């Protein structure tokens, strides 16, 4: 018997999947516990609609990420910081600060965990940062740190 799972069922499949199980298993276990419904035309149509909606949302998210990547590629994020002797900063510039500055300067909100700095920024200069927006979509920008007057 073909059924559509309403919840994850160990040994059968994940929620929303169309699976084939024995008639007794479906009637005596899955249906009474509301773990599955019979795979009729309406249930199959619901699955199809949900998959199309999910695909559409993923496509829109990818499109937004690609637009953001185009905006950020090659841009420079500028910081001013206090430093001690030999041009070493008090502390360092972190991914969190880079994310805040991206929001201020370009109006783009990026999660700090998606920003990877190739090294710790503890001195003045220009550094490379990679921003991973989605799987396969990333942008490279520069982080410029100058001395506070």
pLDDT for 116-135, tens place per residue?
988 888 888 899 999 998 88
HEC readout, 88-129:
EEEEEECHHHHHHHHHHHHCCCCCHHHEEECCCEEECEEEEE
Q: Is the pLDDT confidence value at 86 over 80?
A: no
Q: Give the predicted TM-score (pTM) of the model.
A: 0.68
Task: Say which CATH topology domain 67-147 has.
Answer: Ribosomal Protein L9; domain 2 (3.10.430)
Which residues, in sequence order, are CB contacts of 25 under 8 Å at separation 6+?
none
Quick one: tokens of 118? 């190739």
Whole-number percent of the chain with pLDDT over 90:
55
Q: Token pair of 6, please? A: 């309403």
Amino acid 122: pLDDT: 86
Domain boundaries, the chain: 2-62, 67-147
> Hey, do 2-62 and 67-147 end up sharing a CATH topology, with the first three levels equal?
no
Pick the CATH number of 2-62 from 3.40.50.150, 3.40.190.150, 3.40.5.10, 3.40.50.880: 3.40.5.10
* Matching residue, tokens 């298993």: 25
- Checking if the pLDDT of 149 tops 70, the result is no
Q: What is the average pLDDT value for the chain, to the nearest integer? A: 90
Distances (CA, A) of 101 to 39, 78, 106, 114: 52, 8, 8, 14
């Amino acid at each position: 018997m073909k059924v559509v799972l309403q919840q994850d069922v160990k040994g059968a499949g994940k929620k929303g999947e169309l699976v084939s199980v024995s008639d007794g298993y479906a009637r005596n276990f899955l249906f009474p516990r509301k773990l599955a419904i019979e795979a009729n035309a309406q249930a199959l149509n619901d699955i199809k609609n949900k998959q199309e909606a999910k695909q559409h949302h993923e496509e829109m998210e990818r499109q937004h990420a690609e637009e953001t990547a185009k905006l950020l590629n090659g841009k420079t994020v500028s910081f001013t910081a206090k430093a001690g002797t030999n041009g070493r900063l008090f502390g360092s510039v972190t991914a969190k600060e880079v994310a805040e500055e991206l929001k201020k300067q370009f109006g783009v909100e990026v999660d700090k965990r998606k920003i990877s700095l190739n090294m710790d920024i503890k001195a003045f200069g220009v550094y490379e940062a990679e921003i991973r927006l989605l799987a396969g979509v990333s942008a490279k920008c520069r982080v410029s740190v100058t001395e506070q007057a």
